[in-house]
Amino acid sequence: MGAVAVYPISGCGLFGDDEEKAQPPAPDPLAPLLAEARSLAGQHEAAIAAFPVLAERLTPVAEAHREHAAALAKVIKTPEPSASASASPSPPAGDAKGTLAALRAAEQKCQKAAAQACQAAPAERAALLGSIAAACATHLEVVR
């Protein structure tokens, strides 16, 4: 009688295991909100640089967006970019009034995105997202 060889077939790729391992993980659904928070902080900082008279109004808002970005980065386990790696937004075009209008539109967009994300998020993320949406709503008054 001949010897029968027994070969395990699990893990050999016949059942799509290799394909699943080769796929990169899906991006976190909060990644766009993180990018938006970073962008808003930069936009406010650019406005402050272009119009120092707005610094008292806009500095706390820029700081809030940096804090939102840090909290989101922690939740989705993304490292904060280095200061040299983060792109500086271009200076705002026009006058201070036009800059405030552009910031207001950006805050409205962020508020809406955070509120929608809050509704779809699991409970452990909803509080952070609700807080960001509420903060953006208050920022609308500051950039009025």
Task: Answer yes or no: pTM beyond 0.85.
Answer: no
For residue 136, count other CB atoms closer than 10 A to its CB: 26
pLDDT of 90-115, one tens digit each?
A: 777 789 999 999 999 999 999 999 99
Contact 73, 80 (CB under 8 A): yes
Q: What percent of the chain has pLDDT over 70?
A: 78
